[in-house]
Amino acid sequence: MKMLINVAETVVADALRGMAAAHPELVVDVDHRVIVRRDAPVEGKVALISGGGSGHEPLHGGFVGPGMLSAACPGEVFTSPVPDQMARAAAAAVDSGAGVLFIVKNYTGDVLNFDMAAELAEDEGIQVAKVLVNDDVAVTDSLYTAGRRGTGATLFVEKIAGAAADEGQPLGQVEAIGRQVNENSRSFGVALSACTTPAKGSPTFDLPPGELELGIGIHGEPGRERRAMMTSGEIADFSVGAILDDMTPRNPVLVLVNSMGGTPLLELYGFNAEVQRVLSERGVAVARTLVGNYVTSLDMAGASVTLCQVDEELLRLWDAPVKTPGLRWGM
């Protein structure tokens, strides 16, 4: 599998250099792998820090900026960042008093590394709270697993908690809002092809023509189940169905129809039409819809759907201005 890279070893560093050049409004520390808002630390403002393996762009680095994250810590491709990165980000992004909120996708590696970073930051006298994102309904019997994965809902948590933090809400409240968003969110993803990591150089699994993987995560792992290829409409029925089996929204929802990276926008918009059809058939009201590449898995073809129930307050925070490379409106 060909890639537009120099060598596998420098992929993340190269991308950070390119990000620095494209986004002078961010401070990109290529050596220490931390991306920080240029205006940080903002006095009295809770700092939001997230991070995770690279390969999911624009998540997380592309969501740093006013109205969203204070800082992001990119690991190697599909590899959680190390604690030093988050500790450094906390020191750089945080106003000593207000504290920092870690937004952590629920993977063993992410949890362990952020926990260790929290210890380091607390040693420096920084107050740390944490929101764990675990929205993926494809992981069912979570008693016998590492629990549900964090996927598309991460965007909702980062955006909505980010808006609350930018309004000056205190740490406990920003944390509570982040948790509420996560609890209100569910995702389901499918793959039409595997992705290729730079380190491996070939697809992470074999998917014959005529088959698809249902219930995939965002790290090139196979899903829960392999089936004969389905139409866009059938995939929407299955994906939205899996979500609604697990949650019955009483309030309107935010809808994220997300490409895993390799599925073009033309197909993705068509898939959105089917997702909206299923939602309307199931009586779910839609408040806002976002269609695009947001939480990707390198070049994987496929898509995921995330729904997030919102009350008026969460919707207000969703609509609040945001100015990041990956998500921008109102400023």
Partner 1 sequence: MLDAAFFRRWMTATAASVDREAERLTALDSPIGDADHGSNLQRGFHAVTAELEKEDPQTPGAVLTLAGRHLISTVGGASGPLYGTLLRRTGKALGDAGEVSEAEFAQALRAGVDAVMTLGGAAPGDKTMIDSLVPAVDALSDGFTAARAAAEEGALATTPLQARKGRASYLGERSIGHQDPGATSSALLIAALTEAAGE
Ligand X SMILES: Nc1ncnc2c1ncn2[C@@H]1O[C@H](COP(=O)(O)OP(=O)(O)O)[C@@H](O)[C@H]1O
Residues marked as catalytic: 56, 219
- Least separation in angstroms between residue 278's CB and partner 1 is 24
Other beta carbons within 10 Å of 78: 24
Please give the single-letter amino acid code of residue 116. Answer: M
Read off the tokens for 201: 């150089």
Q: What is the DSSP string of 116-180?
A: HHHHHHHHTT--EEEEEE--BTT---GGGSS-PPP-THHHHHHHHHHHHHHTT--HHHHHHHHHH
Find the part of the chain contacting its own copies (CB under 8 A) among 88-96, 131-139, 143-151, 296-304.
296-304
For the segment 45-84, give every residue that binds Mg ion (CB under 5 A).
Answer: 78-79
To the nearest 5 percent, what fractions of the chain are helix, strand and coil?
Answer: 35, 25, 40
- Backbone phi and psi for residue 229, each to the nearest 5 degrees, phi listed first: -50, 140
Asked if 71 and 64 touch (Cβ cutoff 8 Å), the reply is: yes
Q: Tell me if 142 contacts ligand X by CB under 6 A.
A: no
d(CA 9, CA 3): 13
Tokens linked to 274: 């089917």
Q: How far is the CB of 107 from Mg ion (least distance, A)?
A: 8
Residue 35: strand, helix, or coil: strand
Residue list 22-51, contact with its own copies (CB under 8 A): 22
Complex with ligand X: residue 300 or 317, whichever CB lies closer: 300
Amino acid symbol at 171: L
Q: Is 109 in the site for ligand X (CB under 6 A)?
A: yes
Q: Which is nearer to ligand X, 45 or 105 (CB)?
A: 105
**Residues at the contact surface with partner 1, assessed by CB under 8 A:** 8, 53, 75-84, 107-109, 112-113, 116, 138-141, 144-146, 149, 197, 199-200, 204-205, 217, 219-222, 224
Among 6, 10, 96, 108, binds ligand X (CB under 6 A): 108
Smallest gap, in angstroms, from Cβ of residue 51 to ligand X? 13
Out of partner 1, Mg ion, ligand X, none, which partner does residue 318 contact, by CB within 5 to 8 A per kind? none
Site for its own copies contains 302 (CB under 8 A): yes
The rounded Cα 140 to chain-centroid distance in angstroms is: 20
- Binding site partner of 233, from ligand X, its own copies, Mg ion, none, Cβ cut-off 5-8 A by kind: its own copies
Beta bridge pairs of residue 188: 305
Strand partners, 258: 292, 304
Return the structure tokens found at 74. Answer: 């990119």
Q: Rounded to 5 degrees, what angle do the CA atoms 57, 61, 64 make? A: 135
**Binding residues with ligand X: total (CB under 6 A):** 4
Cα(148)–Cα(281) distance, integer angstroms: 27
Position 128 contacts its own copies (CB under 8 A) = no
Binding residues for its own copies, rule CB under 8 A, total 66
Q: Which of 122, 183, 267, 319 binds its own copies (CB under 8 A)?
A: 267
Q: Is 259 helix (H, G, I), strand (E, B) or coil?
A: strand
CB of 231 to its own copies, least distance (A): 5
CB nearer to ligand X: give 109 or 233.
Answer: 109
Minimum Å gap between C-beta 236 and its own copies is 10
Using CB under 6 A as the binding rule, whether residue 222 contacts ligand X is answered as: no
Answer for which of 134, 185, 258, 296 binds its own copies (CB under 8 A) is 296
Taking the C-alpha atoms of residue 286 and residue 272, their distance in angstroms, rounded to an integer, is 12
- Under rule CB under 8 A, residue 303 binds its own copies: yes
Under the rule (CB under 6 A), what is the footprint of ligand X? 79-80, 108-109
Q: Residue numbers of the site for Mg ion (CB under 5 A)? A: 78-79
